[in-house]
Structure 1
Amino acid sequence: MVFQMQSLTRRQLNAAALILLWAHAVAATNAAQAKPNLLLIMADDVGCDAIGCYGGQSHPTPHIDALAQGGMKFNHAYSMPVCHPSRVCLMTGRYPFRFGAEGMKWGDFPDAAEGISIGDRFKQAGYATAVAGKWQLCMMKNDLQHPRRVGFDSWCLFGWHEGGRYHDPLIYQDGRLRDDTLGKYGPDLYVEFLVDFIRQSRQDGKPFFAYYPMALCHDVTDDLKGRHVAYSKDGRWMTYAEMISSMDDMIGRLVAALERLKIREETLILFTTDNGTPAASYLTVDADGKMVRPKVFSIRDGDVVPGGKGKHDDTGTRVPLIANWPGRIQPGSHADEMVDLTDYLPTLADIAGLGDEDVFRDGISFAPLLLGQPRELKRDWIYTEHRGKRAIRSPQFRLYDDGRFFDLAVDSKEQSPLSNEQLSGDAAEEFKQLSKRLGQMRPAAK
């Protein structure tokens, strides 16, 4: 009888332990569900003209178009003219000039931004965090732990200006150089890494923040000390059209993975790009071994659109932005309010319910737009900067720091600047307000 009582006690204890484990798992799952998963995708060198749902006719983009059909398409999303300042904006929610010379130092990340980046924000809130693709915020071989210092638990990033990003890529993963990339295609590896990360986060019962700054559709680099990066499988590099197709395929694979893992309805996807389509793209090498870079054009709504990367006009800075979250964002909806890359960090923080923070951001959350709620604050201007040149625009006008002023409603291609001496009415008032704002967008005097 004593033995039976002891045996029963052990069974009861085991049962109690199982109940506690089950309760812990349920609690972890509920906590994860309370904070949505976040997948932020930023393609490289892709303007609106290259995307089907934005009127692009040169390149089929069925997976991106499906995100727009099932979510919200923004008609006035903006970036910086080129990739590095765009990444500073997205990572910090601040304009590069806020960090002084460090903010515009190519291939570097301001020391003052460590601890306040988008990765830090979500890691501190209990998210599992990862980044894969293009970093461009340090020379990775000299700073193997840099992504960790700005909030990412794990990373899979090609060595910017160190080697290839596509075929036989040079990739650093979690602080070490991968030795298994020969004969492989970089974008495949970045997506596989993110899918593994998402699967592990789900198993751990943690919400995830996955940042995917794509290698696609930037061309190969020509500055690797006289040597060329690996060719494509058939002896040439991909055309811009082929890169667009591959970009769309990678996005489709990520969405399919979320569906397989049954977390699609728990995940907000934002898709955007870092600047407009490039004016030219390296495609091959001539008989003398020199890289050849023909011009890039797209057809959009029947018009031929040359690539505008590097320009402050709409061909260089007006970019796609699509938000998709089944059951939360109205399918097929549109947003005409202006947003820029500094807005993404505060928006995602709002969506995740992270609350207020004691950190200055230039960005303004557009989370209410996504959820169909009234928005108290909204943008009435967009600021851009690149290599010492600056511009600012309102919904109708754009002002450059050299004084050129355009009415975009009648001159969208900016062919005929208005004469400042002859301005009147709305144009005169806009010029005054934009001039004042542009004057304020400078580093504080020391």
Structure 2
Amino acid sequence: MAFRPSLYCRAIWLCIAMGSAVAAETRPPNILFLFADDVGQEVLECYGGQSYPTPHLNELARTGMKFRHAYSMPVCHPSRLTLMSGKYPFRHGKVAWGDYPQAAEELTFSRRLQRAGYTTYIAGKWQLCLLKDDPLHPKRMGFDQWDLFGWHEGPRYYEPMIYRNGTVREDTIGHYGPDLYQDGLIEFMKANRDRPFLAYYSMAVAHEVTDDLNPPVPHGPFDRYDSYPEMVAEMDRAVGRMVAALEALKLRENTLILFLADNGTPPEIIIRADGSDLIRTPVVSRRNGLDVPGGKKQLTNAGTNVPMIANWRGTIRPGQEVDDLVDFSDIMPTFLELAGASPPSDQVLDGVSFADRLFGTGVSPRAFAYCEEAVLPKPGGVEPDGVSSGMRWVRTQDWKLYRDGRLFHMSEDPTEAYPFHAEQDDSARHAVRQKLVDAFENLGL
């Protein structure tokens, strides 16, 4: 998909049109990227959620832009693979679970932002390698500094195991992980307030604790792990704290805040350990008067239609709810366009920039969103045929086509109860089906 030119001239023109001084903020915007883990739309009050108070996210949406049609992969690693590369998982061939293809390390959005003059930091979850095996992996992927918990190595919440710039920290005893991740983000933004930065908070919440360590990670102060409502409360508190930090640093007008979640809500979480046994509890949320079980791992709306909120004071007009299609491949080209950076000259991205929508000068040009049920090899295990083994779909706002031929009218059948097969198509459905078949063919599928 085509990449569009830099927005510098348009940004300056907008400043003049709004009566701002021409000299004000000629540098590209800072980016505060808040990436939640295992949070579907039904969790947030501003999306109709009724189970959990989310006042800070509500305010971010009220004073910014809420996207109704942002689509992830159904689980976390393929979402992150797409996010970092601007390409769908199947483009990378066989990639082990929790890994990142070495050949693509130079092509991440963080590397490209570095080359555009940004200083970069990430805190929280990595999940693109085991850091004990490759502690400097984030540096090769484009991060100047990082504080990342040891995924499948130790705790992420209470007394977490955190790698700081390649070395395990020794100062986490008695601390709560999310507090430390947020402390690092605030210190980074404070130290870099005078130059463009990417501050990426890859949240631990609202994902359950690591489930494959023996003995299990220790309980928190209530002799159990955090409940899902407690993790949602922490997520919302973190958003409020990050926004307050930007206010204190006087950076709100030159910082894009983008909140996004990596996939839908889990159907259950680990609530405590009984010896080596892990005890789970269901997660069911209320939305617009209906009970919504967690849809993580599913290709349905509950698993892939995630919350996304953009807020940029003075640039994004408050109170907008938009229907533009966005999928995770779009994050990279959008960030690059905002930074005035060039896309990889030798690579074709699946993503398209939605910067026009943020500036209020147009809509996203995306014609369809794509999702796949990636079947990824486990490290050291028997490889399946590759990531192409899973089911996949393409969709518009109203229609979704699975590769097995099932067509759903999503605006009338959001739970996918009534599939249309080709032999049932009238002329209108046939035209829709052909459009989506063409989209698969354009992807080479």
TM over 0.5: same fold?
yes
Structure 1 counterpart of 2:399: 397
- Quick check: 396-405 or 206-215, which moved more? 396-405
Structure 2 counterpart of 1:417: 419
Say if 2:116 and 2:340, in contact at 8 Å, map to a contact too. no
Say if 1:33 and 1:266, in contact at 8 Å, map to a contact too. no
Code of the aligned partner of 1:36: P
Give the counterpart of 1:171 among 155, 159, 162. Answer: 162
Query: Which TM-score applies when normalising by structure 2?
Result: 0.89
Deviation at 1:429, TM superposition (A): 1.5
Deviation at 1:213, TM superposition (A): 1.0
Residue 380 to residue 402, structure 1, CA distance change in 2 (3 Å) = closer
Give the counterpart of 1:350 among 323, 337, 342. Answer: 337
Give the counterpart of 1:77 among 58, 62, 70. Answer: 70
Deviation at 1:270, TM superposition (A): 0.3
Which structure has greater helix proportion? 1
Deviation at 1:402, TM superposition (A): 2.6
Code of the aligned partner of 2:43: A
Structure 2 counterpart of 1:127: 118
Say if 1:329 and 1:371, in contact at 8 Å, map to a contact too. yes
Structure 2 counterpart of 1:309: 296
Deviation at 1:379, TM superposition (A): 2.7
Code of the aligned partner of 2:212: D
Say if 1:167 and 1:232, in contact at 8 Å, map to a contact too. yes
Q: Which has the greater radius of gyration?
A: 1
Deviation at 1:432, TM superposition (A): 2.1
Structure 1 counterpart of 2:80: 87
Say if 1:276 and 1:319, in contact at 8 Å, map to a contact too. yes
Q: Which runs of 5+ in 2 are unaligned?
A: 1-22, 376-389
Deviation at 1:438, TM superposition (A): 2.5
- Quick check: 74-83 or 354-363, which moved more? 354-363
Instruction: Within 5 Å, give how 1:93-112 maps onto structure 2.
Output: 93-102=86-95, 105-112=96-103
Deviation at 1:31, TM superposition (A): 10
Instruction: Within 5 Å, give how 1:242-391 maps onto structure 2.
Output: 242-286=230-274, 289-355=276-342, 357-358=344-345, 359-375=347-363, 377-387=365-375, 388-391=390-393
Deviation at 1:442, TM superposition (A): 5.2
Code of the aligned partner of 1:335: V
Give the counterpart of 1:239 among 216, 220, 227. Answer: 227
Instruction: Give the paired residue count.
Output: 408
1:220 aligns with 2:209: yes
Deviation at 1:440, TM superposition (A): 4.7
Deviations along 1:95-120, one digit per CA (max 9) or x if unpaired, are 11111112xx2110111211110110
CA distance, structure 2, for counterparts of residue 307 and residue 155 of structure 1: 31
Residue 289 to residue 114, structure 1, CA distance change in 2 (3 Å) = closer
Q: Secondary structure at the match of 1:238?
A: coil
Deviation at 1:289, TM superposition (A): 4.3
Code of the aligned partner of 2:413: D
CA distance, structure 1, for counterparts of residue 410 and residue 118 of structure 2: 42
Instruction: Within 5 Å, give how 1:198-217 maps onto structure 2.
Output: 198-202=189-193, 205-217=194-206
- Quick check: 63-72 or 288-297, which moved more? 288-297
Say if 1:52 and 1:65, in contact at 8 Å, map to a contact too. yes
CA distance, structure 2, for counterparts of residue 265 and residue 166 of structure 1: 32
Q: Secondary structure at the match of 2:192?
A: helix
Code of the aligned partner of 2:125: K
CA distance, structure 2, for counterparts of residue 442 and residue 389 of structure 1: 15
Structure 2 counterpart of 1:36: 29
Structure 2 counterpart of 1:191: 182
Say if 2:333 and 2:343, in contact at 8 Å, map to a contact too. no
Deviations along 1:117-151, one digit per CA (max 9) or x if unpaired, are 01101100111101110000000011011000011
1:67 aligns with 2:54: no
Deviations along 1:224-256, one digit per CA (max 9) or x if unpaired, are 1x2111211121111100000001111111111
Q: Secondary structure at the match of 2:135?
A: coil
